């Protein structure tokens, strides 16, 4: 199999998974409003003691916990995919240093997301709805700062992935290692003098 196809497959899985997670993250909290607006009689009866505000808060917390778990899992998968992808580019292709450094930057950005931004975002998000007014405003500002940093890193990784895909597909510097070999049986290499 031509190595460019493998590179495109790995990049497609990575970038497509990122787009899917972004779509899910943007739509997930809308389900709380949809559940509350349905006014299912059984649901209304079960949550009547809580009241609509507390029910909405509990549902939002459940959706947020599910989001945290899904994004943590996706980040772990991205780290594994990035390590695999980098090793493949390093050992399975003859890509240049620039392609390898772009992939390494993508790996480092993923590690920053997984080890620094995401845990802080999770801690801040868990306590956000249950804090008093003054403290909630400060935590909300911190949450949105971390959220925007997370989105910026995702956008940067997506852009770098597109650049890496364009570099590999351009074929100017890349060589297919399966079709590239050196001839050993040349006229001046036939005899060994002892």
pLDDT over 80 at 191, yes or no:
no
Chain centre to alpha carbon of residue 92: 23
178: confidence class by pLDDT, cuts 50, 70, 90: low
Task: Name the percent of the chain lying above pLDDT 90.
Answer: 51
1: confidence class by pLDDT, cuts 50, 70, 90: very low
pLDDT at 192: 58
Taking alpha carbons only, the member of 110, 105, 129 closest to residue 18 is: 110
Q: Where are the domains of the chain?
A: 3-25+65-175
Q: What is the pTM assigned to this prediction?
A: 0.80
Compute the average pLDDT of residues 108-113: 96
- Mean pLDDT across the chain: 86
Compute the average pLDDT of residues 3-32: 91
10 Å Cβ neighbour count for 132?
A: 7
pLDDT at 193: 57
Q: Find out whether 122 and 68 touch, Cβ atoms under 8 Å.
A: yes
Alpha-carbon distances, residue 14 vs 1, 19, 126 (angstroms):
20, 9, 28
Taking alpha carbons only, the member of 165, 174, 118 closest to residue 146 is: 118
Compute the average pLDDT of residues 88-108: 92
pLDDT at 113: 96
pLDDT at 21: 95
Number of residues in the chain: 194
Query: What is the C-alpha separation between 69 and 64, in angstroms, rounded?
Result: 9
pLDDT at 180: 53
pLDDT at 93: 84
186: confidence class by pLDDT, cuts 50, 70, 90: low
68: confidence class by pLDDT, cuts 50, 70, 90: very high
Query: What is the C-alpha separation between 64 and 70, in angstroms, rounded?
Result: 10
Query: What is the C-alpha separation between 62 and 55, in angstroms, rounded?
Result: 11
194: confidence class by pLDDT, cuts 50, 70, 90: low
Query: What would the two tokens of residue 92 be?
Result: 């399975």
Q: What are phi and psi of 181, to 5 degrees?
A: -145, 160
Query: What is the C-alpha separation between 13 and 81, in angstroms, rounded?
Result: 9
């Amino acid at each position: 199999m031509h190595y460019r196809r493998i590179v495109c497959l790995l990049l497609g899985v990575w970038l497509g998974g990122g787009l899917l997670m972004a779509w899910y993250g943007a739509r997930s909290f809308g389900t709380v409003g949809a559940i509350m607006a349905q006014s299912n009689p059984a649901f209304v009866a079960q949550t009547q003691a809580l009241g609509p505000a507390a029910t909405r808060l509990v549902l939002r917390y459940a959706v947020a916990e599910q989001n945290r778990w899904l994004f943590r899992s996706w980040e772990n998968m991205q780290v594994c995919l990035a390590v695999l992808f980098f090793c493949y580019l390093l050992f399975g292709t003859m890509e240049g240093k620039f392609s390898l450094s772009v992939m390494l930057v993508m790996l480092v950005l993923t590690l920053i997301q997984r080890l620094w931004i995401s845990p802080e975002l999770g801690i801040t998000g868990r306590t956000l709805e249950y804090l008093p007014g003054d403290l909630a405003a400060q935590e909300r500002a911190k949450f949105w700062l971390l959220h925007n940093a997370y989105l910026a890193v995702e956008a940067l990784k997506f852009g770098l992935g597109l650049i890496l895909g364009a570099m590999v597909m351009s074929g100017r510097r890349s060589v297919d290692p399966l079709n590239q070999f050196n001839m050993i049986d040349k006229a001046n290499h036939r005899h060994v003098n002892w």
